[in-house]
Each structure stands twice: as C-alpha cells, then as structure tokens.
Amino acid sequence: MANFINLSVVIVFLLGMAGMGIYFLKRNNSTEEYFLGGRKIPGWALGLSMVGTSISSITFLALPAAAYVLDYRQLTPNLFMPVAALVACWLFIPFFRRGRKTTAYEYLESRYGTGIRIYSALYAMLGQLLRLGLILYLVVLPLSAMLHISEGTAIIAFGVITCFYTVFGGIEAVVWTDVVQTIILLGGGLLCVAAVVVQLPGGAPQVFEIGMQYGKFSLGPLDFSFSERTFWVMSLIGFLGFVTEFSSNQNVVQRYIAAPTLREARKATLICIVMSVPTWIFFFFIGTCLFVFYKVHPSAEVAVMKPDDVLPHFILTEIWPGVGGVIIAACLAAAMSSLSSSINAVSTIWTIDFLRLIRHKSEDRFELVNAKLASGFAGLFMIAGAWAISLIPRESVYDLGTILAALFCSAGLTPFMLGFFTTRVGNKAILFGMWTALLFSIYNILNYFGCLPVELRWNIHIYMAGVVCNLVMLIASLGYSLFRPAPVTERLTGLTVWTLESERD
C-alpha cells in the first residue's frame, strides 16, 4: 500500500511536467523561441531555473552521500560560487548580451576565430553529455527501488520521460518546469531532515553532538598539499570551477541572454547566489543527519550499502507513505531541472555552433527541426551514459563525476579569460595553447590509468588535473603571443575589458 501511495504521488508529478511540455509546444515556432524564449523570460524565473539547474540530483543524492561517507570537504568548492557569480554580474553578462548572440562560443569566434569556437563548443558538449549520464544514474536509484525494477529499466523509462517535455517544450518549458521543480526540491529536503529529527531521541541537538564527535562537519585537512583532497585543493577547484560556470557554461549563458534586459539578467544571477549556497549546505547536512540516524539506529543492511544508496533506502523504509512519494518526486524534480537544461544546451550548441557553420544559409524551420533532433540524440547519449556509469566502481558518483570532468573537460575557462582580459593574445596564440592543453589532457589520462613509466608519472590529486590543464593553456598561449604581433585594437572593440563600450541594454 505504501508503495502504491508513493507511486501515485510520483505519477501525478510526472504527468504535470509532461503537460507543461505539451503547453509550450505550440509556442516554439522558431529557433529564437526554442532556445531563448523570445528573450523575454523574467529574471526571477531565470534565477530559480539557475538554482534548479545547479543543484540537480547531484545535490539531492550525491552531496548527502559525500557527507555521509566522509565530511563536508566537497562543500568547500561551492563556497566560492558567490565570488564568481558577482564577477559575472559586473563583467561577464554584458559581454554575452551584446549583439544577438545565442551561445557563449559565438563570443570566442568574434574574439579569435572559428577554430577556438569549435574547440570550446566541442568540449562543452562533451561536458554536458557527461553530466547528463551522471545525473540520470543518480535519480534512478530511488526510482528503481520504489518500482521494484532494475536500474537499467529505470534509466530507460525516466530518460524517455525527461526527453519528452525538453524536446518539444524548448527553453520556456525548461525554465518554468525548473521553477516548479526547485520549490518541490527544497520542500523534499526539509521533509528528509524532519523525518530524521523526529525519530532521534535527542532531536536536532543530537545531530550536532554526534556529528561533531565524528568530525562530520570538517571542511578537510588544512595541510598545504596538492596530492590529497585538502581544503586548499578543494578551494582552488571551486573558484576556477565556478568562474568557468558563470563565464562559459551554456546552461548559464543561455539564461543571461534569455532575459529581456541586462538588469533582469543580473537579477537572475543574484537570486541564484542567495539561494544556491544555503541549499548546498543544507543537503550536506542531510548526509550528516543520515549518519547520525544510523549511528543511533544501527542497520546491518545500511552498513554494507554504497553511500549513494543510503538516502533512497531511508526514504523508502523510514518515511511515511505519501511523504516518501513527495521526497522522491523532489529527487526527480532535481534531476529533471538539470537534465532538461543540459539537453537543451547540447541542442543549442549543435545548432548554433556547428550546423550554422556547415550551412550558412539554412532556413529557420530546418534549424528548428534539427534542434529537436539534437535534443533527442542528447537524450539517447544520456541513457547510454547512465547505464555505463552504473557499471563503474567508485567512492561516490560525485567523486566519479569530478574525476571524469577533470580528465576530459579540462581547459574551457582559459580562452574566455584571455579573451576578456588581454588584447595581446590572438588566434594563433590561443590555438597553440589549445593544442598544448590537448596533449597535456592525454598525458593526464595516461597518468591516471597507470599507462606511463614510473619516472614519467606525477603525484598530484586527480581533482587538480583541470586546474593545471587551464594553467598549461594559459602559459602556452601567453608565451606564444610574445613572439607574434598583437591583434589590431580596433578589431577588439567591445570584446575585452580594455575595449568595452558602454552598455545600452
């Protein structure tokens, strides 16, 4: 009976999301509407959408798992998000809102040329597809347990449902479903904490007492070492990661551009700042609550579980019927908001950054059809990636995602930073840096999988691979530029902080 009630709640939620996709279907008559909602979506809705996209099911399941098995050291990177977002409000947003841009990588073509635009867009698509697989896998954990079906079946079923409203609804369906899903997500998290606290003999104070006793609130060792996940390693990863997020991630940039004015775009980013960090802290706290709960109420079954399975198990065994369904719906909401954003971003990058370069005079109708087909193909990659991830051994999915991103999606930040802040680096210099970074990425992959002789290996934590790869590209590009004539300043008008014109928006 309990499963039936929970399942009924989830089905009502999914039908509501599908209905929103159908509602927005008739409004997508052009690529402008499909990708940007006609550039008229209000800032408050875009802000909630950015929150929903950033927290995802990685927040709902992986962050509690990371806190449950270790401590809060994986929260450290998220604490640097406000710094990067404020820089974006002041500097990055005006760059992307100039002209009629649709993707972040159109800026790179204006600044350097076509080669670096294709390189960055390709890396961005790889990163989005990786993210899709990770998030979908995380969300099927509670879904497969609740429905008593295999993870593979749940991956296919939920992947298809998510694709439906994204493919047909476009960015407006993504944003407005994100608003609903973010509210449901936060409510589900609160219900989780309440369910733990009311079942502890010492209530909320016991969570803090036992958590402090076992060091569960630690932000990691303060040793100055780059070979372990110390506070300094996680801080550096966080700062560069969020600067990358707010300067070059298509999910974010697309929302800057979809706002009607510069002021609304900045409002969206400020809403994201105010809500995201407390939300991340709160979901780490859920992991601590689970750790304390199973210390007070030991379970032999939980003791041998993977960390990612603990929260789904708690939801299905310790929470009242109906309420458990709401929490699972919240978990699904977290996943759907991120999955739909990334699917739409992949479709946008393919259509704008690749298809338009291949077919310079394509009709808008042709592009719209191809955009929807690209969304469908992204959904297929998402399903295949989630199935592959289910077979990979790991500490936690969050850890696995960080490692894969560091290895395969490493140097997306440097082209934008050199573009914004220098006038010296031109097309040939950035391309030299690009090839150098690619070679270094190959070295990192071989090093991580132990394919190099011992004398050629280096001892640095794999989380740092992306940071170092960006640094390699930076040094190579700047070094090469010293031996080349600087670009003509007039050609850089509006493209660097030194040649920026006043904003009319």
How far is residue 17's CA from residue 13's CA, in Å, rounded to a whole number? 6
Q: Which residue has the higher pLDDT, 32 or 334?
A: 32
Would you state the pLDDT for residue 265? 92
Nearest to 311 by CA among 69, 133, 131, 76: 69
Q: What is the pLDDT of residues 246-255, one digit of tens each?
A: 888 888 888 9
- Structure confidence at residue 350 (pLDDT): 92
Taking the C-alpha atoms of residue 240 and residue 253, their distance in angstroms, rounded to an integer, is 17
Q: What was the pLDDT predicted at 57?
A: 56
Looking at residues 337-343, what average pLDDT do you find? 81
**Segment 128-138 mean pLDDT:** 81
- In order of start, what are the domains of the chain with their CATH numbers? 2-387 (1.20.1730.10), 399-505 (no CATH)
224 pLDDT band (50/70/90 cuts)? low
**217 neighbors 288 (Cβ within 8 angstroms):** yes
Write out the two tokens for 189.
């998290």
**What pLDDT score does 404 carry?**
65
Give yes or no for a contact between 77 and 241, defined as CB atoms under 8 angstroms apart: yes
With a cut of 70, say whether residue 16 has pLDDT above it: yes
pLDDT computed for residue 268 by the predictor: 92
- Rounded Cα distance between 119 and 415, Å, is 10
339-349: buried (b, 16+ CB within 10 Å) or exposed (e) per residue?
Answer: bbbbbbbbbbb
| Separation of alpha carbons 57 and 67, rounded Å | 15
Q: Give the span between the Cα atoms of 477 and 184, in whole angstroms.
A: 46
Mean pLDDT computed over 339-362: 83
Return the pLDDT at 478: 94
Q: Minimum mean pLDDT among 42-46, 206-210, 455-459: which range?
A: 455-459
- Residue 54 reports pLDDT greater than 80: no
Contact 251, 345 (CB under 8 A): yes
Rounded to an integer, what distance in angstroms lies between the CA atom of residue 55 and that of residue 185? Answer: 9
Distances (CA, A) of 1 to 4, 5, 7, 311, 443: 5, 6, 10, 21, 55
Residue 10 tokens read as 């989830």
Q: Can you say how many angstroms the Cα of residue 360 is from the centroid of all Cα atoms in its chain? A: 31
Quick one: pLDDT at residue 267?
A: 93
Length of the chain: 505
pLDDT band at residue 349, thresholds of 50, 70 and 90? very high
Q: In the chain, helix, strand, coil percent, each to 5?
A: 75, 0, 25
Closest alpha carbon to 315 in 137, 135, 142: 142
DSSP string, 349-391: HIIIIIIHHH-TT--HHHHHHHHHHHHHHHHHHHHHHHHHHTT
d(CA 476, CA 484): 13
Is the pLDDT at 168 greater than 60? The verdict is yes
Q: What is the DSSP string of 91-140?
A: IIHHHHTSTT--STHHHHHHHT-HHHHHHHHHHHHHHHHHHHHHHHHHHH
Query: For a pLDDT cut of 90, what percent of the chain falls above it?
Result: 10
- Choose between 93 and 395: higher pLDDT: 93
pLDDT digits (tens, 9 = 90+) for 401-438: 666 666 665 567 889 889 888 888 988 999 999 899 88
Q: How far is CA 264 from CA 89, 259, 271, in A?
A: 11, 6, 11
Predicted pLDDT of residue 285? 92
pLDDT at 361 over 70: no
Q: Assess whether pLDDT exceeds 60 at residue 394.
A: no
- Tokens linked to 2: 């309990």
User: How many Å apart are CA 32 and CA 197, to the nearest integer?
Assistant: 48
Q: Is the pLDDT of residue 35 over 90?
A: no
| Residue 50 tokens, joined | 């950015």
Q: What number is the average pLDDT over the span 210-223?
A: 80
State the average pLDDT for the chain: 81
Sequence-distant (≥ 6) Cβ neighbours of residue 27 within 8 angstroms: 33, 170, 172
Q: What percentage of the chain reaches a pLDDT higher than 70? A: 87
Q: Mean per-residue pLDDT for 279-305? A: 89
Average pLDDT (95-123) is: 86
* pLDDT at position 65 over 80: yes
Does the pLDDT of residue 495 top 60, yes or no?
yes
pLDDT of residue 388: 80
Determine the pLDDT at residue 448.
74
């994986």: which residue's tokens?
Answer: 74
Which pair of structure tokens corresponds to residue 375? Answer: 């969304």
pLDDT at 461 (0 to 100): 66
For residue 251, the surrounding DSSP H or E stretch is helix 250-258
Task: Please enumerate in sequence order all residues whose Cβ is within 8 A of that of 5, keeping only pairs 6 or more positions apart, or say none.
Answer: 321, 322, 325
Q: What is the dihedral of CA 354, 358, 360, 361, to 10 degrees?
A: -110
- 476 pLDDT above the threshold of 90: yes
Q: 87-90 — which CB contacts under 8 Å span 24+ positions?
A: 87/243, 87/246, 88/246, 88/247, 88/252, 88/269, 89/266, 89/269, 89/270
| pLDDT at residue 396 in the model | 56
